[in-house]
Structure 1
Amino acid sequence: MSESFRVSRAPIVAIVDDDEAVRDALCDLLVVLDFPCRAFPGAEEFMTEFIPGKFDCLITDVTMPGRSGLELCQHLSKLGSSMPVIFITADASPSTRLRAASCGAHAYLMKPVDGDELLGHLQSALGLRVLPDARTWRDHLDD
Protein backbone atom coordinates (compact mmCIF):
# COMPACT_ATOMS: atom_id res chain seq x y z
CA MET A 1 0.00 0.00 0.00
CA SER A 2 1.46 3.33 -0.94
CA GLU A 3 1.03 6.51 1.01
CA SER A 4 1.15 9.95 -0.48
CA PHE A 5 2.74 12.71 1.48
CA ARG A 6 2.06 16.36 0.94
CA VAL A 7 5.01 18.62 1.52
CA SER A 8 3.73 21.81 3.05
CA ARG A 9 5.33 25.17 3.53
CA ALA A 10 4.35 28.32 5.30
CA PRO A 11 2.17 30.53 3.10
CA ILE A 12 4.07 33.41 1.52
CA VAL A 13 2.30 36.76 1.56
CA ALA A 14 3.18 39.58 -0.84
CA ILE A 15 2.68 43.15 0.32
CA VAL A 16 2.42 45.93 -2.25
CA ASP A 17 2.22 49.49 -0.92
CA ASP A 18 4.02 52.67 -1.91
CA ASP A 19 4.20 53.75 1.76
CA GLU A 20 7.38 52.24 3.18
CA ALA A 21 6.16 52.51 6.79
CA VAL A 22 3.00 50.55 5.94
CA ARG A 23 4.99 47.90 4.06
CA ASP A 24 7.41 47.50 6.96
CA ALA A 25 4.66 47.36 9.60
CA LEU A 26 2.67 44.75 7.69
CA CYS A 27 5.75 42.65 7.04
CA ASP A 28 6.73 42.87 10.72
CA LEU A 29 3.27 41.64 11.69
CA LEU A 30 3.47 38.71 9.31
CA VAL A 31 6.91 37.74 10.62
CA VAL A 32 5.55 37.72 14.18
CA LEU A 33 2.95 35.20 12.96
CA ASP A 34 5.63 33.12 11.21
CA PHE A 35 4.45 34.01 7.72
CA PRO A 36 7.21 34.63 5.22
CA CYS A 37 6.49 37.84 3.35
CA ARG A 38 7.93 39.83 0.53
CA ALA A 39 7.30 43.58 0.33
CA PHE A 40 7.18 45.62 -2.87
CA PRO A 41 6.96 49.42 -3.29
CA GLY A 42 4.68 49.14 -6.32
CA ALA A 43 2.77 46.88 -8.67
CA GLU A 44 5.50 46.91 -11.31
CA GLU A 45 8.09 45.64 -8.84
CA PHE A 46 5.72 42.91 -7.70
CA MET A 47 5.05 41.80 -11.28
CA THR A 48 8.79 41.41 -11.97
CA GLU A 49 8.84 38.62 -9.35
CA PHE A 50 5.34 37.24 -9.88
CA ILE A 51 5.20 33.59 -10.87
CA PRO A 52 1.91 31.71 -10.44
CA GLY A 53 2.06 29.82 -7.14
CA LYS A 54 5.00 31.78 -5.70
CA PHE A 55 2.80 33.86 -3.40
CA ASP A 56 -0.25 32.61 -1.51
CA CYS A 57 -1.91 35.95 -0.79
CA LEU A 58 -1.49 39.57 -1.83
CA ILE A 59 -2.09 42.51 0.51
CA THR A 60 -2.12 45.79 -1.41
CA ASP A 61 -3.13 49.41 -1.22
CA VAL A 62 -5.64 50.70 -3.77
CA THR A 63 -4.04 54.03 -4.67
CA MET A 64 -0.38 53.98 -5.65
CA PRO A 65 1.76 55.76 -8.25
CA GLY A 66 1.97 53.89 -11.53
CA ARG A 67 -0.28 50.85 -11.64
CA SER A 68 -2.88 51.00 -8.86
CA GLY A 69 -3.76 48.09 -6.64
CA LEU A 70 -7.03 47.75 -8.55
CA GLU A 71 -5.19 47.58 -11.86
CA LEU A 72 -2.82 45.02 -10.35
CA CYS A 73 -5.75 42.90 -9.18
CA GLN A 74 -7.39 43.13 -12.63
CA HIS A 75 -4.12 42.20 -14.33
CA LEU A 76 -3.65 39.17 -12.08
CA SER A 77 -7.22 38.13 -12.78
CA LYS A 78 -6.61 38.35 -16.54
CA LEU A 79 -3.55 36.14 -16.06
CA GLY A 80 -5.80 33.53 -14.44
CA SER A 81 -4.40 33.98 -10.94
CA SER A 82 -6.56 32.65 -8.12
CA MET A 83 -4.34 34.21 -5.45
CA PRO A 84 -6.53 35.98 -2.86
CA VAL A 85 -6.14 39.77 -2.74
CA ILE A 86 -6.76 41.82 0.39
CA PHE A 87 -7.00 45.58 -0.09
CA ILE A 88 -6.03 47.91 2.75
CA THR A 89 -6.95 51.48 1.85
CA ALA A 90 -8.18 54.90 2.91
CA ASP A 91 -10.52 55.02 -0.12
CA ALA A 92 -14.08 54.55 1.17
CA SER A 93 -15.68 55.20 -2.22
CA PRO A 94 -18.44 52.69 -3.04
CA SER A 95 -17.36 52.70 -6.70
CA THR A 96 -13.79 51.77 -5.74
CA ARG A 97 -15.05 49.02 -3.44
CA LEU A 98 -17.21 47.72 -6.31
CA ARG A 99 -14.23 47.71 -8.67
CA ALA A 100 -12.23 45.75 -6.09
CA ALA A 101 -15.04 43.22 -5.75
CA SER A 102 -15.34 42.88 -9.52
CA CYS A 103 -11.68 41.87 -9.84
CA GLY A 104 -12.18 39.20 -7.18
CA ALA A 105 -10.86 40.90 -4.05
CA HIS A 106 -11.05 38.68 -0.99
CA ALA A 107 -11.41 41.68 1.35
CA TYR A 108 -11.50 45.48 1.30
CA LEU A 109 -10.32 46.91 4.61
CA MET A 110 -10.21 50.54 5.65
CA LYS A 111 -7.15 52.24 7.15
CA PRO A 112 -6.35 52.23 9.95
CA VAL A 113 -6.82 48.49 9.69
CA ASP A 114 -8.21 46.56 12.64
CA GLY A 115 -5.78 43.79 13.53
CA ASP A 116 -8.48 41.24 14.35
CA GLU A 117 -10.27 41.95 11.09
CA LEU A 118 -7.08 41.65 9.04
CA LEU A 119 -6.14 38.43 10.79
CA GLY A 120 -9.57 36.96 10.14
CA HIS A 121 -9.43 37.81 6.44
CA LEU A 122 -5.87 36.51 6.12
CA GLN A 123 -6.91 33.29 7.84
CA SER A 124 -9.85 32.93 5.48
CA ALA A 125 -7.83 33.80 2.38
CA LEU A 126 -5.21 31.19 3.19
CA GLY A 127 -7.73 28.55 4.20
CA LEU A 128 -6.28 28.28 7.68
CA ARG A 129 -8.28 27.37 10.74
CA VAL A 130 -5.89 28.38 13.50
CA LEU A 131 -3.43 31.24 13.70
CA PRO A 132 -1.71 32.75 16.74
CA ASP A 133 -3.55 35.24 18.93
CA ALA A 134 -4.62 38.37 17.04
CA ARG A 135 -3.27 40.58 19.84
CA THR A 136 0.17 40.29 18.26
CA TRP A 137 -1.25 42.05 15.18
CA ARG A 138 -2.90 44.78 17.22
CA ASP A 139 0.22 45.35 19.31
CA HIS A 140 2.32 46.00 16.21
CA LEU A 141 -0.30 48.06 14.39
CA ASP A 142 -0.30 50.55 17.26
CA ASP A 143 3.49 51.08 17.05
Structure 2
Amino acid sequence: MATRKAVLVVDDDPNVLKSIGRLLKAARFDVIAYASAEELYRCSNLHEIACFVLDIHLNSVSGLDLRRHLEVLGVQSPVIFITADDSSVTRDRALASGCSEYLIKPFQAKFLLKAIEDAMEA
Protein backbone atom coordinates (compact mmCIF):
# COMPACT_ATOMS: atom_id res chain seq x y z
CA MET A 1 0.00 0.00 0.00
CA ALA A 2 1.38 3.42 -0.90
CA THR A 3 2.10 5.97 1.79
CA ARG A 4 3.37 9.51 1.64
CA LYS A 5 6.92 8.13 1.36
CA ALA A 6 6.09 5.76 -1.48
CA VAL A 7 8.36 5.84 -4.51
CA LEU A 8 7.22 4.17 -7.71
CA VAL A 9 10.01 2.93 -9.99
CA VAL A 10 9.62 1.78 -13.60
CA ASP A 11 12.63 0.18 -15.30
CA ASP A 12 12.67 -2.73 -17.74
CA ASP A 13 16.12 -3.90 -16.58
CA PRO A 14 15.41 -6.38 -13.76
CA ASN A 15 18.84 -5.83 -12.17
CA VAL A 16 18.39 -2.06 -12.04
CA LEU A 17 14.85 -2.43 -10.73
CA LYS A 18 16.01 -4.80 -7.99
CA SER A 19 18.99 -2.67 -6.95
CA ILE A 20 16.97 0.57 -6.82
CA GLY A 21 14.29 -1.22 -4.85
CA ARG A 22 16.81 -2.45 -2.30
CA LEU A 23 18.43 0.97 -2.03
CA LEU A 24 15.13 2.73 -1.43
CA LYS A 25 13.93 0.15 1.10
CA ALA A 26 17.22 0.53 2.98
CA ALA A 27 16.57 4.30 3.00
CA ARG A 28 13.13 3.59 4.56
CA PHE A 29 10.99 4.37 1.54
CA ASP A 30 8.02 2.27 0.54
CA VAL A 31 8.78 1.02 -2.96
CA ILE A 32 6.48 0.01 -5.77
CA ALA A 33 8.50 -1.43 -8.65
CA TYR A 34 7.29 -2.16 -12.16
CA ALA A 35 9.14 -3.62 -15.12
CA SER A 36 6.92 -2.00 -17.75
CA ALA A 37 4.70 0.92 -18.56
CA GLU A 38 1.75 -1.42 -18.88
CA GLU A 39 2.12 -2.40 -15.22
CA LEU A 40 2.05 1.26 -14.20
CA TYR A 41 -1.10 1.81 -16.28
CA ARG A 42 -2.87 -0.77 -14.10
CA CYS A 43 -1.82 0.92 -10.84
CA SER A 44 -4.86 2.34 -9.09
CA ASN A 45 -3.18 4.54 -6.48
CA LEU A 46 -0.98 6.82 -8.60
CA HIS A 47 -2.19 9.93 -6.75
CA GLU A 48 -0.75 8.50 -3.50
CA ILE A 49 2.79 8.18 -4.85
CA ALA A 50 5.23 10.73 -3.43
CA CYS A 51 7.78 10.44 -6.26
CA PHE A 52 8.25 8.57 -9.53
CA VAL A 53 11.57 7.24 -10.86
CA LEU A 54 11.12 6.45 -14.55
CA ASP A 55 13.57 4.95 -17.00
CA ILE A 56 13.38 6.91 -20.23
CA HIS A 57 14.00 4.00 -22.60
CA LEU A 58 11.55 1.22 -21.85
CA ASN A 59 10.67 -1.66 -24.18
CA SER A 60 7.30 -0.42 -25.41
CA VAL A 61 6.48 3.03 -24.02
CA SER A 62 9.05 5.67 -23.14
CA GLY A 63 9.38 7.23 -19.72
CA LEU A 64 8.51 10.53 -21.37
CA ASP A 65 5.21 9.02 -22.52
CA LEU A 66 4.61 7.77 -18.98
CA ARG A 67 5.19 11.30 -17.71
CA ARG A 68 2.56 12.62 -20.13
CA HIS A 69 0.15 9.88 -19.02
CA LEU A 70 0.58 10.94 -15.38
CA GLU A 71 -0.10 14.56 -16.32
CA VAL A 72 -3.31 13.59 -18.17
CA LEU A 73 -4.44 11.78 -15.01
CA GLY A 74 -3.70 14.89 -12.94
CA VAL A 75 -0.87 13.26 -11.00
CA GLN A 76 1.41 16.06 -9.80
CA SER A 77 4.06 14.10 -7.90
CA PRO A 78 7.65 14.77 -8.97
CA VAL A 79 9.33 12.64 -11.62
CA ILE A 80 12.99 11.69 -11.75
CA PHE A 81 14.21 10.33 -15.07
CA ILE A 82 17.01 7.79 -15.31
CA THR A 83 18.69 6.58 -18.50
CA ALA A 84 21.68 4.63 -19.73
CA ASP A 85 21.34 6.13 -23.19
CA ASP A 86 21.97 9.83 -22.71
CA SER A 87 21.71 12.25 -25.60
CA SER A 88 21.20 15.99 -25.76
CA VAL A 89 17.80 15.51 -27.43
CA THR A 90 16.61 13.09 -24.74
CA ARG A 91 17.97 15.26 -21.95
CA ASP A 92 16.32 18.38 -23.39
CA ARG A 93 12.96 16.60 -23.73
CA ALA A 94 13.18 15.23 -20.19
CA LEU A 95 14.03 18.60 -18.70
CA ALA A 96 11.33 20.33 -20.77
CA SER A 97 8.78 17.87 -19.34
CA GLY A 98 9.39 19.38 -15.91
CA CYS A 99 11.22 16.48 -14.32
CA SER A 100 12.83 17.05 -10.94
CA GLU A 101 16.10 15.39 -11.91
CA TYR A 102 17.78 13.61 -14.81
CA LEU A 103 20.32 10.94 -13.87
CA ILE A 104 22.58 8.99 -16.20
CA LYS A 105 23.21 5.32 -15.40
CA PRO A 106 25.29 4.21 -13.72
CA PHE A 107 24.82 6.84 -11.03
CA GLN A 108 25.87 6.79 -7.41
CA ALA A 109 23.17 5.79 -4.94
CA LYS A 110 23.60 9.03 -3.01
CA PHE A 111 22.60 11.05 -6.07
CA LEU A 112 19.33 9.18 -6.50
CA LEU A 113 18.51 9.42 -2.80
CA LYS A 114 19.25 13.15 -2.77
CA ALA A 115 17.14 13.67 -5.90
CA ILE A 116 14.20 11.86 -4.29
CA GLU A 117 14.54 13.72 -0.99
CA ASP A 118 14.81 17.07 -2.79
CA ALA A 119 11.82 16.27 -5.00
CA MET A 120 9.67 15.32 -2.03
CA GLU A 121 10.58 18.50 -0.16
CA ALA A 122 9.82 20.78 -3.11
TM-score, normalization by structure 1 = 0.78
Using the alignment, how far apart are the partners of 2:46 and 2:83 within structure 1? Answer: 25
Which protein has the bigger strand share?
Answer: 2
Do residues 21 (structure 1) and 15 (structure 2) align? yes
Residue deviations 1:76-116, cap 9 Å, x none? 12322211111111122111111112222111100101222
Determine what percentage of the aligned residue pairs are the same residue. 37
Report the equivalent of 1:111: 105
Report the equivalent of 1:44: 38
Do residues 127 (structure 1) and 121 (structure 2) align? yes
Using the alignment, how far apart are the partners of 1:100 and 1:74 within structure 2? Answer: 11
User: Cα distance 1:70–1:17, how it changes in 2: closer, same or farther (>3 A)?
Assistant: same
Structure 2: 5+ residue stretches without partners: none
Using the alignment, how far apart are the partners of 1:44 and 1:82 within structure 2? Answer: 20
Deviation at 1:51, TM superposition (A): 3.1
Report the equivalent of 1:60: 54
Asked if the contact 2:10/2:54 (under 8 Å) is kept, the reply is yes
Larger Rg: 1 or 2?
A: 1
Asked if the contact 1:16/1:40 (under 8 Å) is kept, the reply is yes
Q: How many aligned residue pairs are there?
A: 120
Using the alignment, how far apart are the partners of 2:44 and 2:97 within structure 1? Answer: 18
TM-score, normalization by structure 2 = 0.90
Of residues 4, 14, 25, the one that matches 1:31 is 25
Of residues 58, 65, 69, the one that matches 1:71 is 65
Structure 1: 5+ residue stretches without partners: 1-8, 129-143
RMSD: 1.5
